[in-house]
Structure 1
Amino acid sequence: MTDMTPTRPLLEVRGLNKHYPAGKRGLFGRQMMQVLRDVSFDLYPGEVLGLVGESGSGKSTIGKAVLRLVDSQSQAMRFDGRELAGLPTEDLRRLRKDMQIIFQDPYASLDPRKTIRATLTEALDTHGLHRGAARQPRLVALMQMVGLNPAFLDRRPHEFSGGQRQRIGIARALAVEPRFIVADEAVSALDVSIQAQVLNLLADLRAKTGVSLLFISHDLSVVRFISDRVMVLYLGRVMEVGPADQVHFAPRHPYTAALVSAEPSLHKAPDRIRLTGEIPSPLNPPSGCVFRSRCPYALPACATAVPDLRPAGEGRMTACIRDDIL
């Protein structure tokens, strides 16, 4: 973890919204499904911001939106002070060098026809990096950075385990020396023991390179391990933001507390929060606070009040109209 000092954010997002068309077009047009609702956050140089929430909360959509892999609407979305919305294609292509992604599925994210050398070379060629005699030393260095034998460069993906393939995916993201990486459920498809190895690798690479990470996961304990701060998302809205350990050990929002309660443990408090039912559909979200239909502390006012994020002390923010429950 890093000690964050006041500085200009590397990534600034304000009022991010995303809609998808749903179902067939009817008499009054096609119904729209809103998957992100007024999401705002900052990510600082060298920081790891963890993004956690259940499946369907909109986590991956945030990652794709900030990388401009999907269209979205926002009041502002700036990288290093530069507005991303409406950025010309050629400028966006150049910016890709600074903004990379590690995908969830290590089996589907690599071209089975290409050797590892070809995969990494393609990334370098796209941005004109390490040409000629500098190419081989760079490829060797990338393999060593992710803990793989450089002799494996001429092998193909089917010759590697899932954990090794994910290391190759990390090497591909690092190849162009980015300043920011979205790690989208980067360890969720791996066995627990391999997860720990990849998490330690990412933490070590962050310390060595200073790269900023938006680390996306449904597992709060995994997010806490690697993150400086954590942002908790539910049905497209931010519920809580704060330092990772504080969010995990002293949650201020009932949803965060429920995520903590759901973690495997030999010692569970008798008053742990249990969620019932599934996360509502974005097509028909609850009125007011989107979490109220599953919240054990909901008040009648929660059906109409849409809580904004507000300060909760010690660098914390929470979106709840109550401050007397946790």
Structure 2
Amino acid sequence: MTPLLEVHDLNMSYPVGRKGLFGTRMMQVLRDVSLSVAPGEVLGLVGESGSGKSTIGKAVLRLIDAQSAGMVFAGHDLNTIPAARLRSLRKDMQIIFQDPFASLDPRKTIRAVLSEALDTHRLHPGPARATRLTALMEMVGLNPSFLDRLPHEFSGGQRQRIGIARALAVEPKFIVCDEAVSALDVSIQAQVLNLLADLRVSQGISLLFISHDLSVVRYISDRIMVLYLGRVMEVGPADDVHFTPRHPYTAALVSAEPSLKHTPQRIRLTGEIPSPLTPPSGCVFRSRCPYALPACANEIPKLRPAGKSRLKACIRDDIL
């Protein structure tokens, strides 16, 4: 199956501080990240804060400019597409933000919020507008009578449902869910996850689901990509990555979950994730890895096969 989204060797750097005698200091936050998302698939991105997850989401939507050897969406090269064509293509690429309240204009009613998206792409004009807005509210489990209320009149879970409705308004093919449930209570998280899972099937959309919580990512994803300090550590089917991790960092994330019955080996990480300004040489995870060898300081591990449909970036085969 031809991927809906395909990214090769994505890199991203930010300038840090003022320009000095030897130029501007650069902080690299993504390093040679490659990924693909098939039509109707959910790819989960998981990792600690600072791993580069949200930067990937913004880069594939062209909300920020990154360096990539290739970034293709629905047959269009996102690196070379003209600005006018990119604006038209944005209808097919939407995002759901982490903070449902901050992402909504507090002065606009929900009717105005949803209509703004439709107006931008000239969709459902005239009498068809009311029908579409009603359908969107029902699609996300909200009463259409709420359309004339303001965002502050809703709970956090309801506001996130409105954010989902806004993303769905233009009938996209692909949605980036950037920590879309992390600001919600656990019980509300489950409701929103179930809603996204149902919409993924009923609307035939693909999701790039970003979270720091591996169990949340596993619940909704078909495949999982594990990131650490801007590099991919492991990729594979969701259940395989969660229950039989092949990389020490993935195993450490599993170990951090409340239930450890399925964990083959408990791994506790010490210290914080290093700064992208001063990453460790060789394998970026070696400074916190309990299995690190002297060779790990000199060699940057490439992604390589680690079982059926699995890839890992580790030079060792004798662990996990």
Question: What interval of TM-score do these two structures reach, taking the shorter chain for normalisation?
Answer: over 0.9
Note the 1:64-83 alignment, pairs <5 A: 64-83=58-77
Q: Which residue of 2 aligns with 1:133?
A: 127
Q: How far apart, CA to CA, are the structure 1 residues paired with 2:309 and 2:262? A: 27
**3-state DSSP of counterpart to 2:180:** coil
AA paired with 1:112?
P
Residues 1:165 and 2:159 are matched in the alignment: yes
Q: How far apart, CA to CA, are the structure 2 residues paired with 1:252 and 1:108? A: 38
Q: Deviations over 1:290-318 (max 9, x none)?
A: 00000000011000110110111210011
Q: Which residue of 2 aligns with 1:241?
A: 235
Q: How far apart, CA to CA, are the structure 2 residues paired with 1:268 and 1:53? A: 20
AA paired with 1:216?
I
Q: Deviations over 1:222-264 (max 9, x none)?
A: 0000000000000000000000000000000000000000011
Note the 1:1-326 alignment, pairs <5 A: 7-265=1-259, 267=261, 271-326=265-320
**3-state DSSP of counterpart to 2:9:** strand
Whether contact under 8 Å (2:12, 2:67) holds in the other structure is yes
Which segment is superposed worse, 244-253 or 124-133?
A: 124-133
Q: How far apart, CA to CA, are the structure 2 residues paired with 1:244 and 1:266? A: 17
**3-state DSSP of counterpart to 1:100:** strand
- Structure 1 38/270 Cα, relative in aligned 2: closer, same or farther at 3 Å? closer
Q: Percent identity?
A: 80
**Alpha-carbon distance, 1:265 to partner:** 2.0
- Structure 1 145/303 Cα, relative in aligned 2: closer, same or farther at 3 Å? same
**3-state DSSP of counterpart to 1:12:** strand
Whether contact under 8 Å (1:261, 1:268) holds in the other structure is no
**3-state DSSP of counterpart to 1:307:** coil
AA paired with 1:254?
P
Q: How far apart, CA to CA, are the structure 2 residues paired with 1:268 and 1:222? A: 16
Aligned CA-pair RMSD:
1.0
**3-state DSSP of counterpart to 2:258:** coil
- Structure 1 269/68 Cα, relative in aligned 2: closer, same or farther at 3 Å? closer
Q: How far apart, CA to CA, are the structure 1 residues paired with 2:85 and 2:264? A: 55
Whether contact under 8 Å (2:46, 2:210) holds in the other structure is yes
AA paired with 1:217?
S
Q: Deviations over 1:188-228 (max 9, x none)?
A: 00000000000000000001011000000000000000000
**Alpha-carbon distance, 1:266 to partner:** 6.5
Q: How far apart, CA to CA, are the structure 2 residues paired with 1:255 and 1:269? A: 13
Which segment is superposed worse, 222-231 or 85-94?
A: 85-94
Q: Deviations over 1:5-41 (max 9, x none)?
A: xx00000000000000012211111100000000001
- Where structure 2 has 5 or more consecutive residues not aligned to the other structure, the ranges are none
AA paired with 1:250?
T
Q: How far apart, CA to CA, are the structure 2 residues paired with 1:10 and 1:270? A: 35
AA paired with 1:282?
P
**Alpha-carbon distance, 1:270 to partner:** 9.0
**3-state DSSP of counterpart to 2:314:** coil
Q: Which residue of 2 aligns with 1:3?
A: none
Whether contact under 8 Å (2:45, 2:210) holds in the other structure is yes
Q: How far apart, CA to CA, are the structure 1 residues paired with 2:261 and 2:305? A: 31
**Alpha-carbon distance, 1:268 to partner:** 8.0
Q: How far apart, CA to CA, are the structure 2 residues paired with 1:314 and 1:267? A: 24
* TM norm structure 2: 0.99
Q: Deviations over 1:258-282 (max 9, x none)?
A: 0000011265869400000000000
Q: How far apart, CA to CA, are the structure 2 residues paired with 1:78 and 1:102? A: 21
**Alpha-carbon distance, 1:186 to partner:** 0.1
Q: Deviations over 1:166-195 (max 9, x none)?
A: 000000000000000000000000000000
AA paired with 2:243?
F
**Alpha-carbon distance, 1:82 to partner:** 1.2
Aligned residues: 320
**3-state DSSP of counterpart to 2:266:** coil
- Where structure 1 has 5 or more consecutive residues not aligned to the other structure, the ranges are 1-6
Q: How far apart, CA to CA, are the structure 1 residues paired with 2:246 and 2:261? A: 21
* TM norm structure 1: 0.97
Q: How far apart, CA to CA, are the structure 1 residues paired with 2:31 and 2:245? A: 22
